[in-house]
Structure 1
Amino acid sequence: MLNPLQQFEIYSVFNFSIAGHNFVITNSTIAMLCAYLILLMLCCVACFKVRLIPNKVQVCGEAIFEMIDGLLYATASKNSQNFRPLVFTLFSFILISNSIGLIPIAFTTTSHISITFALAAFVFVLITLIGFIKNGVKYLQILLPKGTPIILAPLMIVIELFAYLARPVSLSIRLAANMTAGHVVLKVLATFVISSGFLGFLPFILLTILTGFEIFIAALQAYIFSVLTCAYLSDALNLH
């Protein structure tokens, strides 16, 4: 049986030197570049010659943008509408990266904690800066919930501080763990299909069902990442 974790190995595809510096292009680099190019292409197609009666790509683009707009408004109020491009880009990139990973020969970038933590850390630092820029020192009020008794204030500040600093960790681990677990299960079932001979149709049926479920999980994880980003943005803008 093939090692189900082998699909997550990062390896060098080719390398080159520029001005004495060595650069390595890995399978992870290529997968992220493909996700970026697909996102860029879809956005260009959706925005090229915008029509009153939209084509299919334009309909999909508008649906996602309206979903993000509604999510921001419902979570962080109308003050957050300037951040639509940020949340839209995060959702689309994660969704495309997750979807690319469902292709048998492709690499799942979002299965690696280094990638998901980079995204989560970027969101965490950016939202923290927004909170201090908009509210100044008052932003620290989020570390002390309203109505907390004075005697419990020091303990609550410590607890809330740990919870705040854990945000990028929880964001990154949730996404990476879900993508890794799902792909391991699919790999194991695919191995059973190959090794079971004429009885392979049984695990194949289950594999087909779980593949559809993984497509749903790929979209769900991108949505959850976006929802939590909007929730954290609401704290920075509204001091909830």
Structure 2
Amino acid sequence: MAETTQSAEGGLSFHPLDQFEVYRLFGEGPVHWYTITNVTLWMAIAVLCIVLLLVMGTRKRAVVPNRTQSIAETLYGFIYTMVEDVTGKDGVKYFPYIFTLFIFILMSNFLGLLPMAFTTTSHIAVTAVLALAVFIAVTVIGFVKNGVSFLGLFWVSSAPLALRPILAVIEGISYFVRPVSHSIRLAGNVMAGHAVLKVFAGFAQVGLLIAPFAIFGVIAIYALEVLVAAIQAYVFTILTCVYLKDALHPSH
């Protein structure tokens, strides 16, 4: 819950961003890329939960599925249909990678809603790696599948000839901004929601008059965050499908 401290003037001071602090789990000193931190711990927990759901939960598959198998099959079918609808038959071969992205983001978002948990997708360092991986993979696929014709993505042939060079520059800038918007959208939405949730939780400790409204706010924001956790995983995944579609069929 939110940490509140009395200030010298008798007011209250909230620290909603403390929950996003990265710290070492073992020893002392600065945090390096190889240091085991709370971020790596909760990423490992997310992977473990995914394995339990998709591997262990479907070991005893049956015609009439149990709850775990139903959840796994629903998620699988939902993303498979999305990939096929957005990218076409050519994009189905990339379904395993896209599904892995979706299930990891979804599980990380939901785990971050647990009390005392750490939301890994609230850090731009995590979402930037995911977005850059998509950007690099899509670009490589575009050139491998289409060769130089992939550059047709930036050439708007339906526009007047005089405007095409200008539009090509705009399309180029838009293309290279993709990983920035792709990563910030996810991290920003998750971080903002958790920060607001902690502020409301802090107000719940102010007094009897404000506490009921603050508690109601916590419940409402938490419900919204559950929805946001699923929506942001969906948005990240469908944008990945759209970018893959551009790589497979680059012409305007």
TM-score, scaled to structure 1: 0.93
* Structure 1 residue corresponding to 2:73, chosen from 50, 62, 73: 62
Q: Could you tell me which amino acid in structure 1 is paired with residue 99 of structure 2?
A: F
**How far did 1:69 drift?**
1.2
2:97, 2:221 → 1: CA distance? Answer: 31
Question: Is the 2:58–2:68 contact (alpha carbons within 8 Å) kept by the matching residues of 1?
Answer: no
* Structure 1 residue corresponding to 2:121, chosen from 98, 110, 113: 110
* Structure 2 residue corresponding to 1:206, chosen from 200, 207, 217: 217
Q: 1:22 to 1:38 in 2, by over 3 A?
A: closer
Question: Is the 2:131–2:183 contact (alpha carbons within 8 Å) kept by the matching residues of 1?
Answer: yes
**What's the secondary structure of 1:13's corresponding residue?**
coil
> Match for residue 195 of structure 1?
206
2:127, 2:55 → 1: CA distance? Answer: 26
Pairing of 1:109-148 with structure 2 (within 5 A): 109-148=120-159
**How far did 1:153 drift?**
2.1
> Match for residue 15 of structure 2?
3
Q: Could you tell me which amino acid in structure 1 is paired with residue 15 of structure 2?
A: N
Question: Is the 1:15–1:22 contact (alpha carbons within 8 Å) kept by the matching residues of 2?
Answer: no
> Match for residue 105 of structure 2?
94
Pairing of 1:77-88 with structure 2 (within 5 A): 77-88=88-99
1:231, 1:22 → 2: CA distance? Answer: 31
The unaligned stretches of length 5 or more in structure 2 are 5-13
Q: Could you tell me which amino acid in structure 2 is paired with residue 123 of structure 1?
A: V
1:15, 1:149 → 2: CA distance? Answer: 63
> Match for residue 234 of structure 1?
245
1:137, 1:90 → 2: CA distance? Answer: 28
**How far did 1:198 drift?**
6.4
1:225, 1:134 → 2: CA distance? Answer: 23
Q: Could you tell me which amino acid in structure 1 is paired with residue 239 of structure 2?
A: L
2:225, 2:25 → 1: CA distance? Answer: 27
Which structure carries more helix by proportion? 1
* Residues 47-83 of structure 1: CA deviation (Å, up to 9, x unaligned): 3122111111111111111111111121111111111
> Match for residue 219 of structure 1?
230
Pairing of 1:22-61 with structure 2 (within 5 A): 23-61=34-72
Runs of 4+ in 1 over 4 A off after TM superposition: none
Q: Could you tell me which amino acid in structure 2 is paired with residue 229 of structure 1?
A: T
2:235, 2:197 → 1: CA distance? Answer: 22
Root mean square deviation, CA, Å:
1.7
Q: Could you tell me which amino acid in structure 1 is paired with residue 213 of structure 2?
A: L
Question: Is the 2:106–2:229 contact (alpha carbons within 8 Å) kept by the matching residues of 1?
Answer: yes
TM-score, scaled to structure 2: 0.89
Q: Could you tell me which amino acid in structure 1 is paired with residue 45 of structure 2?
A: C
**What's the secondary structure of 1:117's corresponding residue?**
helix
Q: 1:22 to 1:136 in 2, by over 3 A?
A: closer
1:78, 1:159 → 2: CA distance? Answer: 30
> Match for residue 13 of structure 1?
25
2:184, 2:154 → 1: CA distance? Answer: 23
Q: Could you tell me which amino acid in structure 2 is paired with residue 134 of structure 1?
A: K
2:193, 2:33 → 1: CA distance? Answer: 35
Q: Identity over aligned residues, as a percent?
A: 42
Q: 1:214 to 1:22 in 2, by over 3 A?
A: closer
1:151, 1:23 → 2: CA distance? Answer: 52
Query: Is residue 201 of structure 2 the alignment partner of residue 183 of structure 1?
Result: no
